[in-house]
Amino acid sequence: MPLHVEIIAAEQPILTTDAEVVVATTVSGQISVLPQHEPLLTLLAPGELRLGRGANEVLLALAGGYLEVRDDHVTILADAAERAEDIDMARAERARDRATARLRESQSSVDVARASAALARAISRLKAVDQFRSRGVTRAR
């Protein structure tokens, strides 16, 4: 019996699919969820999310959020989530450069937490694109 995975971002369904394994980036590191996992509610950090489906793998960049596991249902409520193949790399690079420039400014008007979060999102998107290109991860359909 596979896991039933539902990914929701900004209250919109992003992806609903079955998977044999879910690998997620939590605030305390990477976790792998297999069928019959114990109930879990955890906080996600900006980073990758992988869904294993046989020989296929779906790769997404998540901006952070929550992951809940219950009775082989994995529900992910993300702040933002994009499939790797849908990521606009130039946009993520601009976001990274903007955030980096803000963090270099030593003015008190800079919201460091906000710039750091934006940087983490941009890096997570760029990593997902990189992984997608180097591994040739199959399209999520």
Positions that interact with ligand ATP (CB under 6 A):
63, 80, 82, 86-88, 91-92, 95, 118, 121, 125
* Smallest separation (angstroms) from ligand ATP to the CB of 34: 28
* Smallest separation (angstroms) from ligand ATP to the CB of 54: 27
Cα–Cα distances in Å, from 83 out to 37, 38, 54, 60, 100? 25, 27, 18, 4, 24
Cβ distance to ligand ATP smaller for residue 3 or 115: 115
Cβ distance to ligand ATP smaller for residue 22 or 63: 63
Cβ distance to ligand ATP smaller for residue 50 or 125: 125
Helices (H), 35-88: none
- In sequence order, the 6+-apart residues with CB closer than 8 A to the CB of 5 are 15, 16, 17, 18, 19, 22, 51, 73, 74, 76
Cβ distance to ligand ATP smaller for residue 40 or 101: 101
* Smallest separation (angstroms) from ligand ATP to the CB of 127: 12
Beta bridge partners of 66: 43, 77
* Smallest separation (angstroms) from ligand ATP to the CB of 61: 8
Could you give phi then psi for residue 91, rounded to 5 degrees?
-65, -45
Contact in structure between 14 and 78 (CB atoms under 8 Å): yes
